[in-house]
Amino acid sequence: MMLRSTGLFLALAATAFAVQADNLDINLGSNAASVNFSTSLTSTGLEGDLGYLHHTDQVDIGSAGLMVVGDSNPVGSPFIFAVGGKLFFISPKQNIGNGTVLGLGGRFNYTWPSYNRFTIGGELYYAPKIVSFNNADRYLQYGVNAGYEILRNAELYVGYRHISVAFTGTSTLTLDSTFMVGLNLSF
């Protein structure tokens, strides 16, 4: 399974770099580090996403996703939404097995019109038992952040992230629950 997961991750990475890179997001918490790369796949708002989270005591999580990104107002809006799905490959440090889930959800970003360098954002992904495979039974990931654009293509932010999962025969485990500092680069 790990070989297939690695192959899928590398294939999506090659596709992403062959198109044009859009965002690189890096964030650090007290015991966790995360990197996420997203790119526009089409001019109509389809976006590909690859990510990796490492928590020193709890888990390693790889992800690959497809989202539709845009605003809901035809004349423009300070709200940008993304909806779609992500495939999460979960490898906890405890000896309870690995899991794969298809999380549905999305994210949003709001830029204050009169203070256009200040932003707030959030994300939510959920996978019930029906789309949880291997040893996983369900998955929940959510987070919020507030940022400031230090350059037009570089945003510094602070935020909070929570990730929990249930495996077969276990109660729900909190894999990450941390405040973080991050940098989002657009290019």
With H, G, I as helix, E, B as strand and everything else as coil, classify residue 43. Answer: coil
Q: How confident is the model at residue 8 (pLDDT cuts 50, 70, 90)?
A: very low
**61: amino acid identity, one letter:** I
Amino acid 83: pLDDT: 96
Determine which of 46-50, 71-75, 76-80, 160-164 has the lowest per-residue pLDDT on average: 71-75
Q: Are 186 and 20 in contact (CB under 8 A)?
A: no
H/E stretch holding 51: strand 46-55
The Cβ of residue 92 has, within 10 Å, a number of other Cβ atoms equal to: 21
Q: Cα dihedral angle (91, 126, 78, 16), rounded to 10 degrees?
A: 40
In the structure encoding, which two tokens stand for residue 123, read together?
A: 């994300």
The pTM (predicted TM-score) of the whole model is 0.85
Q: For residue 20, what pLDDT band results from cuts at 50, 70 and 90?
A: low
Domains and CATH numbers, the chain: 2-186 (2.40.160)
Judged against a pLDDT cut of 50, whether residue 80 lies above it is answered with yes
Instruction: State yes or no: pLDDT of 4 exceeds 70.
Output: no
Burial 121-151, CB ≥16 within 10 A → b, else e: bbbebebeeebbbebbbbbbbbbebebebee
pLDDT at residue 5, as a whole number: 47
**Per-residue pLDDT band at 16 (split at 50, 70, 90):** very low
